Structure formats: structure tokens, C-alpha cells
Structure 1
Amino acid sequence: MKPVNTASYIYWLSRRVFLLSIVILFVCSFVFELLQKETIDHEEELKSSAASLILQQQISHKSSQADREFLFSLSKKLDADVHLVDIKGNMLASSTATKHQLRDKQAIEELLQSPEAQTFSSYNNENRTVFVRCYFPLSVKNDQFKKMIIIDKTYEIPNPYIGMAYQSLFRSLIISAIISLLIVVSIGLPTQRDLITISKTFTSSSKEVDNYEGIPQLMKILMLQTKFRKRSKSVRKKLKLEIQYWETFFNSIPLGVIIVDDENRIINANQLSFEFFNIEAPKKVKGAFIMQTYKSSELSRLSNDFIHSESTYSEDNLDIFRNAKETNMVVKLVRISLGSRSKGSLIVINDITRLRKLQNVRKEFVSNVSHELKTPITVTMGFLEAMEDCLDDPDQIKYFYNIIKRNTHRINDIIQDLLILSRLEIDEKNQNFGFMEKNIAHTLQNIVALTSDEINKKNVSLVSGFEDQVIVANHSLVELAVRNLLENAIRYSHKDAPLVTLSLADSENHWIIRVSDNGPGIHTKFQGRIFERFFRMDESRDRNTGGSGLGLAIVKHIAQLHNGKIHLDSSLGNGCTFSLYLPKNLQKS
């Protein structure tokens, strides 16, 4: 590439010429110092000689013949031109034949302000001489007037090489300027262009160096920089993606995560950790203490104790109150180390409130099922053994048979209701709703027909009122729920004048099926638990009236499956009213 070879040659030549110029400048500077020293010596010599002679003569305030004679005498002794001027620079007398005006009047006026003598010199390159001028201010007649003696003398330079060196110094300066200009044009401007190219390559992904022509070293730098830029861009992209992955994972895991340093100050924390403690995430988290941010002295204590211990792992339970409810958490702490040095800890918080509640429900459910099944099974086994002792007594056997039959039905009812609950939970989880359009009046009439035997047996007055209305629902489950409510109303209605009401109402967003009785009612302290499985207010009375203890729990699940609700309105002595709310916006499935 021709431009590259030319630039390299100029660069090589410029370096050598520039080094030679530096040597010449150094030598000339040394010679110039000699010239300057010799000039100063001439100045001092002329100044001291003239001063001693001038002090011997008294200059009058007016020009006189004696003054002119003194000037001629001084000129002869010093071998120099001597002039006498006034304060305005006008020539009063001179040792030369011609009397003329001096050009440096302003300088003379300034020099007269100082009582000391002044000396100036200049170099003449053509004649190789040094011109020296001395100014001597004079005071006359009590300082009323001032005059000045000016002495001019020219010295020849004894060594001709000093003059030559002075000329070489000037030439070297010119050569250096030309070389600098060549360097700027041939090296500086291309280098500036190359640096601009490099700068643009840093900021532009489209810049290429395939057709670049310039200084080879800069070309190599540019090529390396281009490779580095491409690689660094790829690394930055991967790093940015990794950070996004990490942030997404960090904020998406169903656990509260807090990272603290070895001073128990927060390094990072995810959103869920703040939600666990029912606080808003502050704008600045990094550097804050746990107690300052989470307002939990127990969590701060657990973290602080772990940091000052030698353990690498710890696990503790933490119970707090959130929204007036107890929240159960498991706090796990893991040591973060770099080599043998601890750098802090990772705190992982898991909300196990629901899990613990499910465990308690499971334990209670197993206990209740065992208890509910144990009673009829024990009764059945007892009467079966009693029947063995009275096989010859048909009346006694019939009595025992009826008891065994009743308890067997009770066991079957419990098992069937448990299966229904299990099926409801599975259908709700799988969203297998089975919704369809049907006249709800037909469903309610069918329920009345199925319970007519019990109604007639207990002489219950049933008041029902509903019109034909097509609704979307799982009518089989609605029938089961309303039948359970109706059977409970018949079972617990007033003994002397039992009255049960079944009605259908229409609200803006729901169909409302109400079942009422005139029984003893339910105390408010039990109304929050009435829909729990196997819950009984009076164990003996409830078992005597029959039922599995799961009827209202089934009603609640059916309401939830329809995205509705079941509501109880009751007070002691005023009976109960159960209202089943079915949304109108259900879609067929």
C-alpha cells in the first residue's frame, strides 16, 4: 500500500532530522550563552568606566562650553559617542559633529525617573558587532532640572564562530518549524484521522476496517479494537441477558429472598420478602439494616446470630401477625463465603401458613372421620354380638336388626358424603363444572318430591314459591345442595308447629335460593364454623337427629364450584335462613 510506505518513510526521515536539529539547537544555545556573557562584560565595563569619569565632572543646568569639552574628553577616553540630553530628550550637546534629536524620548523620560544608570545592548548579525548604550541620569541645582548622558559604543565580536552560531541558531529554528510542519502534515493529520476512525468504531457497529489505509501500527490497533468491540458487544449482550434471567428468577420464585453482608446490611431482596411482612418495598434497599427495613426484631436477631456463629446453615420457625392474622414462616439461612472468609448470608423465607393450616385440617379430618365411623361401627359390632345370644327371640333380633341397619346407613351416608366432597374438590381443581341450561323450577320441584316422605312424617308445613326460570348451573349439584339444606330445615324445625320455606329470588347478579325454618336457631359464636366438616354444636342432639356431619360442607363446596356463596342468617330462637347465591354470568360447559 503506497500511502503506508510514504508515511513510514517520512516518519523515519523526520525523526532523524528532528534529532539533528535538537543537537544543533543545543550547541547553538551554548555558543549563544558565551555571546551573551561577553556582551554583559562589555556593558559592565562601559558602565563602570563612564560612571567614574562622570562623577568627576559637575554638569550645569544650562549648556556650556565646559560641558561640551567634557563630552569630547569623555568620548575620547571611552572611545565612544557621548550625548547630553534634557528631560524631554532634546540633544543639548554631543561628541559627534552632527547634533540631532534622539528617537527614544519616551524611554528617556521614564529612565529619568530612576537615579540609577541603565544599560542596553543589541547584536548586528551583518557586521558581527555588539552595540551598547548606557544612560546616566544627572541631577543639577537641587534637582530643579535633570539631564542625561548617553554613551554609545560598538564592539566587534572577537570570535567569528559566535556570529556563525547565532546564525545557525536562527536557521535551526526555521528547520525545526519546517520539520514540525512536515510531521503534522504527514503523521499528525493521518494519526488524527485514524484516531477519529477508532473513536467512531467504538460507537458505531457498522464501521469496518477492511479498506483502511494508514499507519501500520494504528491499523493493527484498529483491527484489534474492532475484534475487541465485537467480542465485548457479544459479552455485554450475554451478560445483560444473564442479569435479566437472574432478576426474573429472583423476583418470580415463590420464596422471600434476602441477601445480607457480614454487617447484616441488605445487599438485595425480592418483592415477595416485603409482601410476607406486609410492607411496601422501599426505593432504596441496599445498605439498610433488616430491622430498619422489615420492622421485625425476630428476623433481625436470627440473621445477626447466624452471622456471628460458625454455622454454614440454619433453619428456624418465625411466627408473625399480618393483617390481624398469624402467619407461620420457615426461615433458612445459608452462609456466603469467598474462600475461608465470610461475605454475608442468604436468607430464604417460606410462608407455610396455608401448609400448616392444611396439616391441621387433615389431622382434624382424620380424627373426625375416625370418630364418626367408630361410633356406628362399634354399635353395629356390639349388637351383632348381642344377636348371637338371642337367636331364639325373633322380636329381640328384629330390634337389634333395626339398630344395625340404621348405623349401617349412617356409615354409608358418611362414606358417600366423603366421596361427594372428594369429587367436588377434583372437579373444582380440573374445572370440570358440567354447567348446562335448565329450568330451575323443575329442579326445586324434584327436591320437594324427594323429601315429601320426611315432610309428611314430621307434619312439616312447607311453603314454596318459585316461577319457571332457565338458569345455567350444574343442576345435579344444585339439587344436592338444596336437598341438604331442606333436610336440615325439616330436621331442626319447631317440634310443635314445624314450618319450612323454600323460595327463589332474583337479584341483579345472582339467583338466590333460600331455605328457612322456625327451629331454635344458631348462636353467633358457631356461625363461622357451621360449614366445617363434622362440626357439631351439640354432639348428642346432632347424632340423634341423624346426618353425617358433612351436609353443610358439601353445600359450601357446591357454592364455590359455581363461583357463588352460601350465607346464613340466624339468631337463637328465631330459626335459620340459608341463602345459596348462584351467579347469572355462568357459561355452559
Structure 2
Amino acid sequence: MPDFKNRVLSFFLVGIMLVFILLALIVGGLVHYTVKEKRLQSYQSELQLVSLAAVNKDTGLLEKQLGRAEKDLGGKLLYLSPKGKVLAQSKSEKEAVPDQPLNGLDEYKGSSLVSTKDMDRLVYTLPVKNQTSGSLEGYVQLVIPEKTANSTERSIWLAMSLGFLISLVIILFVSIRVLNRIVKPVEEATSTAKELARGNFKARTYEYKGDVGELNFSLNVLARNLEKMTKSYESQQDRLKTLIENMGSGLILIDSDGYITIVNRAFKEIFKEYTDSWTGHLFHEVFPYKEIKEIVEDTFIMETNIRKQVVLPIHIERKNFDVYSAPVLNSLGKLRGIVLVFHDITELKKLEQMRKDFVANVSHELKTPVTSLKGFAETLLDGADGNPEIRRKFLTIMWNESDRLQHLIQDLLDLSKVEQGFSLNLQKVSLSTIVEEVIVMLETKAQEKEITIKYSAEGNTMIEGDSPRLKQVFINLINNSLNYTPKGGRITIRLKESSEKVTFSVSDTGIGIQKEEVSRIFERFYRVDKARSRNSGGTGLGLAIVKHLVEAHRGRIHVKSKPGEGSTFTLVFKKNLMIEFTNY
């Protein structure tokens, strides 16, 4: 940057010097011509005054005029006859004048001043003529050293030179200041730009005032924006890296040439030693599974998403994976690579198998009571119906067993349905209306156990929901409270509206639930008091069904309970469900 400054300063000074030289030539010529003209006019005026005294033949006046003119002009003045004889002269001894100052006076025929040069002297001659007759009466001459005659012009030249020099110094000083003011911000801006180019986005330059500082101001704005963008990019990279490394599924990124660029932690944990040196290698050379290679090839060829479930042998295990392969496209739609995501669904497969086994086992267990029913019926048909007491006993047992089996089968069907998925028929429903209907249904049972039901509703309890499913939820919860509340107890049911939700709660004075059992009460066939549940006709599936139905309505369920003091079940429903229910 100093070279740049010197070049600019040199160019600027050369330009100024050229302008000054051109200006000096023009002004010098003009001054020379003007001074010469003024000098001739001055000489002619003085000589004309002397000539007037000579024409009037006034010797005293002539000598006085000659002396005054000599003093004013600084040269020797002479009055000559027409033949060239000196008739009068100034009394100064400054300049010696020969007896015959000039020859050839016949040349001065005109009436204007004539200038000649004699060695280092200048001679100015003016003819003196009679104003009446016009005849020549003599000459008035000024003999002046050339140095004296040009002294005025030299003084002007000296003053001009001094003025030009002072002007040049001032302009040079101002130019350097101006250049510093202009070049220094550019130098600092250039230095800052170099730092930014090196990646130092914290670099800043001083912001000068005025127009010269616009570049520095803009550069600082650029630096701040670059720093902000860099921090944002680094933050996004960190978040993306954290997300990729900590996601529960294995992820592998392959570029457009087939090279592996990213392998996340979950992927390494799944495949263990196979992934230590995969990064930077071709996918088909290091990945050992043919099924995955085919998925990658199909994604490269078709450039579309592919999803497939595969079973891969990992060491001594066989694991189930839901493999999702998607192309990575740029803004122009050009393939930049593909991303593979491995969801380990081994546990889900096991759970699915357990569910299937569970249903099969339950169905198998149903054979025993059905066989018992069949045996009692055969006994009655074989003649036992003749004894009224035995017949009534057998029929009562058969009725209770068939009723319990019917409830069990119905609950199993409901639970299986909600687990496998079903569609909710969403519409505006009033929870208070549904709860009141359920209370009417269970009022007889409550009266038999002498249980008091207290019900209250606050606000508008309209929500979007499936009325039959919600009715099933409330029946199970209130019926459970009746089953687990001893004779003479109390059940409190509340409905309350808030800004965006409706809350339902049912509290009882029953046996309560142990703290460690609260988390298990929504499991299938789990009973807090198995003997009491069986005696009351419970199947152990009611709360599991309630949980699934509440979650299907995007609601929440909370439980508070103390052994011996009772339990409170609270359901929270949103008024408006913005999610489109397709399958649950």
C-alpha cells in the first residue's frame, strides 16, 4: 500500500507541475508584453512633457523637467538639436554621455517614441516638433541601462516565482493531507479485506467521517455480516452434527461418486467394527450386505425414495431394520448423493410377535371355562335338572362364567382393535351429555353398593371427538371407581372448561393404589386387587382400553392415588383437534 500511495502522490504532483509550467508560460508571456507596453507608455509620457518645455524655449523649465524625468525614470535625459548636438541634459552624473550620443538622427522622422539598443544601454528617442508649423526642432532622448529598464519586470518575475513557489508548497501540503485522508482509509480497508480473505471475520477498520469513510463503513458491515453468517453456519453445523450423532437410528451419507462421507454414532454402534474405516471408501466395496447395496443402486438409478424392511445378521444376532434411502438433490435438481437411515425395529418385531402370542394364549385359555360350561350343560341334560337346588346352582355358575367370558372376549376384541388401528368419527360432542348418560347407566349399581355419586360441570364442555369411544372411556373409569369403592363410599365426577381444553376427573374413596403400581395399572390384565376384580366381574383390560382411546383423541391421562384413601383419574382433552386422524 505505500507504493500505491507514492504512485498516487507522484502522479498528482506531476500533474500539478505540468499545470504550473503551462500557467507560468502563459502568465510570463502576458506579463512581459504588458510590462513592456506600460514601460514604453511611461517613457513616452515623460519625454513628451520634456518636449513641451523644449518647444516653449523655457530653459529653466526644461532643466527642471529633465531633472524630474531623470528622477522618475532612472536614466540620463538629453535634449538634442535636429543635428544631434546636445543642447541640454540632466545634471546627474549617473551615466556618461558621449559628445555625439547617436548618429543618423535623420531616421527619426516620425512623431512616436523610437527605441534602440547601444551595447548594454537602451536609448529611447522622441522627435520634438513645433505645434504650429510642424517643423522639427530637436529630439528628447532617454539613455537608460538595460538592467535598470528591466528591473520592474525582474521584480514582477521574482514576485511571481515566489508566489508560484509558495502556492506549490501549499498545494503540496494540502495534496498530501488530502491524499492521506483518501488513501489511508483505502489502505486500512485493503488490510481489513485481506484479513477477511484469510478468514478472520473479527477484523475491523476505523470508520472515517464523510464520503471517504463509506468504504470502511461498508466493509465493517460486510465483516459483521460475514461473522454473523459464519457463526450461524457453525451453529447450524454443530446442531446438525449433534442431531446426526445423537439420533437413535443409524445414518450413512454417500456422495454422488459412491464414496461414504458421514457415518453417525448409532450406525457404528449397530454394525460395530465394520464401520471403523468406512469413511472415504466406496460404499459397494466396504458394505457387506447385498440387500443394502441393491437399495443404494436403485436410489442412484431412479433418484427416488426407497423404503424396505430387511433382516441382517449382526454378529450372532439377526436384526430387523426398516431401511429408508433418499436422494440428496441440489437446487437445480442434480443428484449430490444419497442418505441411508437404518431404523432398528427388532424390538418392535418382538413386541408384535408377543402380541400375537398373547392373543393366541388368551384364546387357548378360554377353552377351559368354555369346556366347563359345556360340562355343566351336559350334566343338566343328563338328568341333574330334576333336582331344583342343583339345577339352580349349576345354572348360576354357568351364568356367571358366561357373563365373565363375554366381558373378557369383548374387552379383548376392543383392545385388539385399538392396537391394530381404527378411524375416529370426529364430530362436535358434549362431554357433559355423555357423562350424564353414563351416570344414569351405572346409577343402579351405585345404589346397590350404597355409593353416592356427586357430579358437577363448569363451562362449555364441547370438544371434537368420537362419542361412542368417549362413552366407553367414561364407563370404564366410573365403573372401576364403583368396583374398587367399598359400600357406603363416595364418587365425585367433575367436568371443567378452560381456554383451549376440557378436563374430566373422577375421584373415589376406594382402596387406592400403591405408588409402585401406578405405572402398571394400564397394562393388560394387571389388577390391583385380583380377588376383588374377579368378584366384581373385571377383566383387567379396562384401563388399557381407556389409555389407547384417550391417546387416540390426543388427550392426556393422570393418576393420583393413596392406599386406603382413594384414587383420582384426570383426563385432559383439547377442544379443537388440528391433526387429521387417518389411522390410530
TM range (shorter): 0.3 to 0.5
- Between 1 and 2, higher relative CO (CA 8 Å, sep ≥ 6) is seen in 1
TM-score (norm 2): 0.42
